Structure 1
Amino acid sequence: MKKVGSGRLRLSNLQIVAIGYFCVCMIGTILLLLPISAVKGNTTLLQAIFTAVSACCVTGLVLVDTSTHWTLFGQLVIMILIQIGGLGFMTIGMRFMLLVRRRISLREREVMVESINAYQLGGIIRLTQEIVTGTLIVEGIGAALLAIRFIPEFGLTKGLFYSVFHAVSAFCNAGFDLMGIKEPFCSLVPYANDFLINFTVMALIIIGGIGFFIWEDLYKHGLQWKRYYLHTKVVLATTGILIFGGALLFFIFERSATGAEMPMKERMVSALFQSVTCRTAGFNTIDTGSMSEGSKLLSILLMFIGGSPGSTAGGIKTTTCAAFVLYMISGVRREGSATVFGRSLMPDALGRAISIFTINLGVVLIGALILCALQPFSGIDAMFEVFSAMGTVGLSTGITRQLTAASAGVITLVMFLGRVGSVSLASALLEKKAKPPVTLPTEKIIIG
């Protein structure tokens, strides 16, 4: 991990990324506190901070309804925070520097690599341009499809704004919506039987959540599976298993709950949508609080896994989950290394996967325990809320609006950790100035 700066203050790249997100959240908080941002002109500091962090960390948990509490200006601020949080503030900043023809220094390129979790330094400028261009194209297509429904319903101006807002929110896996004008905090429940809205939002969520590097690989090699990088193959395979496997389980779990009175087609689409949105998006077409206990537990698992590296999504990521499972299988088989698609995983993959898994799990369990200590929530509801915050998902069983200031502070911190990355943030805060010059002797311990 490289250090930048001079004199006494020397910041690592990860520290710059963490501080950058913090600054964006604070700027968003100040803007949302302005009287022009709220319909009634008054917003508490807690509401502003919580909303700004939720938007910048592309989570979607809210204390106040987005459509009825915030004015057009406030909603624009939220949408911009979502876009910055989804693409990464360094991506936006670097694109702006390119527009004004400012030279990008080596240090800034290194920070960009850390910001989007890129493979290497080479080609980072070109990748940044492709990310921004691809994002605008995908969001534009998504907005155009949504406009087919929203313009006839809300009129030209409001319909266009709603289309753009929801396209940005879906692509960035944020989960913010403006449907509170129909019923507060209803998300996309009014459109549960609208297949155009459902499949457009699902497509945006998936495209935004698979990762920017997958775009590049698919663009270069088309449908030639054998020519894809191992990373691309693992991401696509894991994503497919999670989406369709999750949909099947939701379909089974909800047959006697929220899907009891639904037509078969609507039940199938609803199960598929829930499986997709749990992977860090935060929209819902069914009442999350009314789901069966099995569906809530499944949602927690999917929220914990999240999307893929270098994407707009959160969670421990699909590759971490895949590496964990592959090494577990290789351990059971007593094989020397984990293999997949004719390749062996790098030796350090298991160590990093374990670190990410255990640190994230530790954070959410501690957060859930604190939440239960602060307020009399059920264990499943508390865990659902904290896992949702950590995975930057935004789904809730309905307890978000009941949070006290202390509980909201816990969720705010967990959302920030989920976006920056708990492992990355821990590394940034605890990084040592120099590695020890010697390696300690090794010795075996009995495992299992």
Structure 2
Amino acid sequence: MVVALAIGGGWLYVILRGNLVDNAGARTELAARQAAADIAAGHGRPHGDLPEPDGGVDAVLVLDDQGRPLASTAPHPAARAAVLAEFRPAGGRDSAVRDFAAAPALAGHTSVVAVVRTPSPSGDGDLYVYALTVLDAVADAQRALGVTVLVGGPLVALLTGLIAWTVTGAALRPVETMRRELVAVSADRLSRRVPAPGGQDEITRLAETVNDTLERLEHSVTRQRQFVADASHELRNPIAAARAELELALLNKPDPGTAASLTRALDSTVRLEHIAADLLLLARLDARQPPNAELVDLSLLAAELIARRRSARVPALLVPADDPVLVRADPGQLERLLANLLDNAQRFADSEVRVGTATDRATGTALLEVADDGPGIPPEATEEVFDRFTRLEADRNRASGGTGLGLAIAREIAHAHGGTLRVEQSGRGARLVLRLPTADSAPRP
């Protein structure tokens, strides 16, 4: 916009000067012709003083063939003659007009001069009648325009920009409102909708389209969750029956080959049973049903779970807090969360698993961390490990016993209780930290 104003101002400046100079030239030539006509008709005096010209022309001067001044309407004709004598009509023309730069003989101003050739009344050659108009008015107009462009241009640009910003902001305010609402939409808040402004404009149609898309997405996710829940539930009985049949077959002491096949089939069936149970639990967590909150001591819960796992390949060591670490949570879900963290740590630890609990009274947060001295989790994968069915290492295969859902379930349980579960870097191995609101700061059901 500023560039456009600058170009427009420059163009206007040039056009204005050209028009003013052309008008001054026309008036000056008209005055020179009028004086020449008066002299040729015997009404003017080619010698001595001449009457003052009209139309804003400043002076009229008559020179002979030799450039000597014969008559003038202004003082010091000889000085003017010295400047103007060389300016004559070219070729067969009887008049000419041109600009003269500032000169002392022309009162120090830029002027436009017109010259007209006319026969001398005495018949002894031609006379040259000069009319002169000082271009002070043109200069004043140019200066006024320049000031207007330099001062008014930025003001106009500022005012125009302010108006455009205000109008554009008002027009796009509904879009910003929709953007904020869309940012708030998540997997557990798919029922949110963006506000649709009144009217039939494009923004209203955009809001309606976004809401239609959100509605379809909500229905799709609901159907998907329901399918997973239904499928997991329906698979439990057939899987349990298959497991019972395999266990019964093994009790009958088959031959070694058959026993090996039955054992492998039983292992796969148990794994399938675990996957179905995990999927069913995830479906329930995805439904965002409020957990059955009770007062739970994280240190005591961890101690009891670790005691039941003394026979694990890498037993866990508890570093409890000095005081009870109390939270309001579903004991069963919290035990499942800790069990999944211990499964992950004991599966990949080399020789040590540490479980610690603490209370941060400044933030009203209860902390539980599970750390191991295994291969650890790369910094770029600290979020990926919480994705469903994710395995990062080549050794994290089916033989390791995991379903790929443990950490995903643990984080969903943490979120359901208003907490967080993150991977935090340590010197060696993996370190997962659970943060939950303490019993004093957690909202009561």
**Structure with more strand by fraction:** 2
Larger Cα Rg: Structure 1 or Structure 2?
2
Q: Same fold per TM (> 0.5)?
A: no
What TM-score bracket applies, with the shorter chain setting the length?
Answer: under 0.3
TM-score by length of structure 1 reads 0.19
Q: Which of the pair has the greater relative contact order for Cα pairs under 8 Å at 6+ separation? A: 1
